[in-house]
Every structure is written in structure tokens, then in C-alpha cells.
Amino acid sequence: MTTPDHTLDALGLLCPLPVLKARKRLSGMASGAVLEMVADDPAAVIDVPHFCAETGHTLLDQNDTDGVLTFIIRRK
């Protein structure tokens, strides 16, 4: 498993805030750095992969553990 360089807690935030916060955090990170984001908005399952595809970031992993979604994203 990839060890994240940064973490982002987006628990309790609703669409589009998890993606907006991820965009802001990723913009301040070095190319190739890894962000781990946790969220509990069910829409994030669709929004985060779409965001990565549109922006060129790589979604390394995602999982759902009892409604807590974890996304591992590598900055382009």
C-alpha cells in the first residue's frame, strides 16, 4: 500500500465540498505526492473518480468501510 504524503478529512461535508477541498489540497502538493482523503458523502464515490479523470490525477485506491470512504490520489 502507498503511504500518503498528506491527509484530508472531508467527513461531514456534502457535494461538492469534498472534491473542492481535494482540489485545493492537491494544488499545493508536489507532483507525484499522494493524498489520502476520507469522506462520508455517498456522492463522493462518483465525484472523486470523475474529478481525477478530468484533472489527470491518478486514483490509486478507494474503499468503503461502513460508510466511510477512503480515496488515495496521486497528484499529476
2 vs 25 pLDDT, higher one:
25
Mean per-residue pLDDT, 18-29: 98
Which of the four pLDDT bands, split at 50, 70 and 90, describes residue 2?
A: confident
Which CATH number does the domain housing residue 38 bear?
3.30.110.40
Are 22 and 59 in contact by the 8 Å Cβ rule? The answer is: no
Range of the domain at 38: 6-74
Is 37 among the domain residues? yes
Is 1 among the domain residues? no
Provide the annotated active-site residues. Answer: 15
Name the residue with cell 508536489.
Answer: 30
Are 63 and 44 in contact by the 8 Å Cβ rule? The answer is: no
Mean per-residue pLDDT, 22-34: 98
pLDDT digits (tens, 9 = 90+) for 39-67: 999 999 999 999 999 999 999 999 999 99
